[in-house]
Amino acid sequence: MAIVALYRGDARHPQAQACAACEVRSQALFGALDDEGLDRIHTRIVSLDLPPDEPVYGRGDAGQAVFTIRSGIVRFERSTEHGDRRIVRLAGRGDLIGQEALLQRPYADEAVACTPVQLCRLPRHLVDELAASSGGMPRELMLRWQSALDAAEAWVADLSTGPARRRLLRLLERLSALTEPGQAVWLPRREEIGAMLDITVETASRMISQLRREGVLALAGPRHATVDGRALAIALRADAA
C-alpha cells in the first residue's frame, strides 16, 4: 500500500498539483469547497494506492475515516451466518465510502479493492469540522448518504432477485457504468460473480461462456473484458420480454 501525504500549501508539490487538477473534485465530498477552503485541509488528507484484492478497511473495524474513490472499483463483502461470503455492492470513481465513521460506528462491511484503486483518506474529525463550518458540506454529505442508499436498494432489486441470466446482464451493465470510456471492464472471478449474484460458480461460468458466444462480451486479458453495449442492451430487452 502506497501512502502519500497531500500538501496543498506548497504549490510545487506533485501531489498538490495532482489534487488541484483532480478530475473527480467536482464529484467528491469537497467539491463544495473553494480553493481557500481546500488550502486549509490538504495537509490532513492522505492519498492511498491499493493493488487488487487489498482491503481498504475491515468489517467491524473502528471507523476513523471516510474515503473518496479517485479511480478503480471497490467491493463490499460480508459473511452470512452460515459462513458464506456475499458481495453486497460495488463503488467506483467519485463515490464516498466508509460513512459509518461519521456516526462513530464500526464499518459494516469489508471494503476490498477489485482493481488498482486510488483513494483519498479523509479523517472523521476533519469532515466533522468542515460540516460545522461550511454551509455546503452538510448537503454534500446527505447527497452521498442518499447515493449509497440508492445503490444498496438497486443492488437488491437488480442483482439479488430474478433469473440468474438477467442478474448477470445487470451486473455487466453496472460494471460498464463504473468503467471509464474506452477502457476494458473489470471482470470478477467466477466465485466472485457467484458471491455477488447468489448463484453457483458453475452457473456463473456457464453464463459467461454463453454471453461470449453471443458477442455480449469478449475477454481482454486477465480479469478484464470488453462489453458490447448494443448487444448487452438487446440481451436485456430480450430477457425482459
Domains and CATH numbers, the chain: 2-158 (2.60.120.10), 162-240 (1.10.10.10)
Which band of pLDDT confidence, cut at 50, 70 and 90, is reported for residue 13? Answer: very low
Which band of pLDDT confidence, cut at 50, 70 and 90, is reported for residue 122? Answer: confident
pLDDT, mean of residues 7-11: 47
pLDDT, mean of residues 69-93: 88
Is the separation of the CB atoms in 119 and 50 below 8 Å? yes
Percent of the chain with pLDDT over 90: 45
In degrees and rounded to multiples of 5, residue 57 shows phi and psi of -160, 165
Q: What pLDDT score was predicted for residue 222?
A: 82
Say if residue 53's pLDDT is above 90: yes
130-140 pLDDT, tens per residue? 767 665 566 67
169, containing H or E segment: helix 164-177
Assigned C-alpha cell, 62: 473502528
pLDDT, mean of residues 74-80: 89
The rounded mean pLDDT for the chain is 82
Say if residue 86's pLDDT is above 80: yes
153-173 pLDDT, tens per residue? 888 788 888 899 999 999 999
Candidate from 17-31, 66-80, 166-180 with smallest mean pLDDT: 17-31
Percent of the chain with pLDDT over 70: 77
Q: What pLDDT score was predicted for residue 4?
A: 41
Q: What pLDDT score was predicted for residue 15?
A: 47
Highest mean pLDDT among 10-19, 53-62, 78-87, 99-108: 53-62
Say if residue 72's pLDDT is above 50: yes
Q: What pLDDT score was predicted for residue 49?
A: 93
In degrees and rounded to multiples of 5, residue 95 shows phi and psi of -80, 150
- Comparing CA positions, the residue from 177, 178, 176 lying closest to residue 217 is 176
Is the separation of the CB atoms in 217 and 227 below 8 Å? yes
Q: What pLDDT score was predicted for residue 29?
A: 54
Residues 6+ apart with CB under 8 A from 80: 86
Say if residue 26's pLDDT is above 70: no
pLDDT, mean of residues 41-63: 86
Which band of pLDDT confidence, cut at 50, 70 and 90, is reported for residue 181? Answer: confident
